[in-house]
Amino acid sequence: MKALLPAAFRPLSAVTGRDSFRPRAGDPATGRRIERETMFGSAQTLEEVWQLRAACRGPDASLFFPPSHFERKDEKEFREERAKAICKTCAVRRECLDYALRIREPHGIWGGLNELERKTKLSARAG
């Protein structure tokens, strides 16, 4: 059974039910948030729209999360190296890492760091 990937790694049409979004009330110049509708009736702010520009979207998205079956250490290292290589080319790497640190994302490669590397970074900030 294939694991359901987070919205950041699915096509916009799978999340919203359409291929584009229509901004609602708000103005970036004034600092007010601009939101978009989703098929679930909730809203996503523009501060999370960076996910739409992420290099990890698409067919290689599975590299960023562990498989549902057992993964040997060398397989994990190889998968993570490939994912991190994609991160190095990403225009929104900083936003991705900031987001993962802010929400304390416990799984996957985000902003070029794996779970342990993010945990270490958070510990260094706190200490």
CA–CA distance, 36 with 31 (Å, rounded to integer): 16
The structure tokens 């039910």 sit at 17
Domain ranges of the chain: 7-126
pLDDT at 34: 41
9, two tokens: 């790694």
Amino acid (one-letter) located at 108: G
30, two tokens: 């004034």
CB atoms within 10 A of CB 113: 22
The secondary structure of residue 37, as a DSSP letter, is E
pLDDT at 66: 93
End-to-end Cα distance, the chain: 41
55, two tokens: 């290099």
pLDDT at 59: 85
Amino acid (one-letter) located at 81: E
The secondary structure of residue 35, as a DSSP letter, is E
pLDDT at 42: 47
pLDDT at 36: 46
Q: What is the pTM of this model?
A: 0.64
pLDDT at 27: 37
pLDDT at 20: 41
Sequence length of the chain is 127
pLDDT at 33: 45
Consecutive sets of 10 residues in the chain, 127 residues long: mean pLDDT of each? 51 46 38 44 62 91 94 97 96 96 95 97 88
